[in-house]
Amino acid sequence: MSIASTPPTTPESTPERAFRRTAPLAHARENTREHLRAVPPLTAPATVPLAREAVQDAVEPVTVDLPAVVSAGLVVPTLNGPVDYANFDHAASTPALVSVKAAVDSALRTYSSVHRGNGYASKVTSAWYEQAREEVATFVGARDGDQVVFTRNSTDSFNLLARALPRDTQVFVFETEHHAALLPWKDRQTTRLPVPGSAADAAVLLRTALMARHSRHRLVVLTGASNVTGEVWPVRELAAIARKAGARVVLDAAQYAPHRRVDLADLGVDYVVLSGHKLYAPFGAGVLAGRSDWLDAATPYLAGGGATKAVTERGVTWHTGAARHEAGSPNVIGAVALAAACHALRAGAEAVEAHETSLGTALIDGLRAIDGVETYSLFGEDHERVAVATFTIDGLDSSLVSAALSAEHGIGVRDGKFCAHLCVDILLDDPYGEAPGTAIRASVGLGTTAEHVQRLLAAVADLAANGPQAAYEATAEGWLPVEDTRDLSPARPW
């Protein structure tokens, strides 16, 4: 639901949410659990009331060498003056890494045509483009014979694969999936599995569906980590069930790859899909990597130069391999950026996981401790997750909460249904999407600090107890302060 279509609500006029389906979000790692002392927002009263037991220890920053982001130190306007931007919207799009920007700057100096010319710049650009493919192949654990096809994003990758499926392929997909993974498949050949109540339930649902629907070709669509709750799915177990039934598996790693190691063989999947803009490389590149036979047999995704081996009056001979589906001048800069991000994240994997585990645990524990805040999960509070928390505040519209966090505290979160409407509707007890139910998602990443977590939790606690500090009105652009003193129209960057 868009912000513009959300009716204005107030704590007095909005009924308390009646649904409490799941336990609060789980701890990401039990052995690294740290608790948070409630710290007031910059302009809040000296104390913030918490109805549940307040935790005692403040968030401690992890002292590790993390890949740096270009947005570090970004200052944004609020109703109370400029503050350091607290980015909790990494699950939607990530800032670029400093190393990614440096790689892009280097590539731009010699940018030229790819596979089209003999000039020095063209030769260098072509070499870097194919080396980027090799780097991404290493990042996803590509096997001998696997292809790495550069696309625009995850949605583009799934649509490419959907176009490449053999005609009689039966697709199995959980309704928890992001729309990018849920919607590209032909309706008559798609079996949607209901939202599971546990990891064991997911296995039973998949096994039962595979036994009931037989076809020569079958494809199971799985997610690595939920973009709604951050919970890590039992990919190895579910992939094993699929393989035993003779089905192939495609893994949506858009939310998984920034936080966990991806390995096609280790996970037991046939294809993997990911997006650069969620992987600290927001330069318009994504990837579909995996088995080559279906891709080589399919009609090219785009018809045009680069995909053609020969064009005569008698017809067209198409390339096999990645070039078959990469017609036109490719996004070299996006490929270089994505490869640079993959290299940096692979080298800093331990530091990244330690950072996100510490802050993610503090975030989730802190939200659970606030009276009037409800957190959500699919598989229960003890299930492993990446550093994502989805929550609601009793009596407050989620879009209003998001607007207040930004305007009053300089905090960026996401509100809505996160392109996973079926999943969110179930979590909010609205399976038919009839109520305007939405939620707030806070996602930790390399642009998040311990102070940001403290500020978010204090701001949420104040909102739950007292509501927004300013008066807001619903406009075509969403909720805005009635008296907005911020400059929201900066000069164009060009």
Give the CATH number, domain containing residue 158: 3.40.640.10
- Predicted confidence at residue 380, as pLDDT, reads 87
Residue 467 located in a structural domain: yes
- Predicted confidence at residue 13, as pLDDT, reads 34
- Predicted confidence at residue 429, as pLDDT, reads 84
Do 215 and 175 have their domain in common? Answer: yes
Do 427 and 388 have their domain in common? Answer: yes
Do 65 and 90 have their domain in common? Answer: yes
Residue 487 located in a structural domain: no
Domain of residue 424: give its range: 3-95+350-481
Count of structural domains, the chain: 2
- Predicted confidence at residue 53, as pLDDT, reads 37
Domain boundary among 347, 381, 397: 347
Do 102 and 83 have their domain in common? Answer: no
Tell me the residue type at 416.
G
Do 149 and 225 have their domain in common? Answer: yes
> Could you give the 3-state DSSP secondary structure of residue 84?
strand
pTM of the model: 0.85
Do 146 and 197 have their domain in common? Answer: yes
- Predicted confidence at residue 23, as pLDDT, reads 30
Do 395 and 328 have their domain in common? Answer: no
Q: 174 with 192: CB under 8 angstroms?
A: yes
- Predicted confidence at residue 381, as pLDDT, reads 83
Residue 489 located in a structural domain: no
- Predicted confidence at residue 116, as pLDDT, reads 81
Low pLDDT (below 50) residues in the chain: 1-59, 61-63
- Predicted confidence at residue 207, as pLDDT, reads 96
**Cα gap 473→482, rounded to integer Å:** 6
Gyration radius of the chain's alpha carbons: 23
Do 116 and 66 have their domain in common? Answer: no
Do 148 and 270 have their domain in common? Answer: yes
**Cα gap 28→384, rounded to integer Å:** 5
Residue 464 located in a structural domain: yes
Do 396 and 453 have their domain in common? Answer: yes
- Predicted confidence at residue 432, as pLDDT, reads 60
Bridge partners (DSSP) of residue 390 are: 441
Bridge partners (DSSP) of residue 97 are: 69
Cβ-count burial 249-268 (b if 16+ within 10 Å, e if not):
bbbbbbbbbbbbebebeebb
For 232, phi and psi rounded to 5 degrees? -85, 125
Domain boundary among 347, 365, 388: 347
Do 327 and 365 have their domain in common? Answer: no
Do 412 and 273 have their domain in common? Answer: no
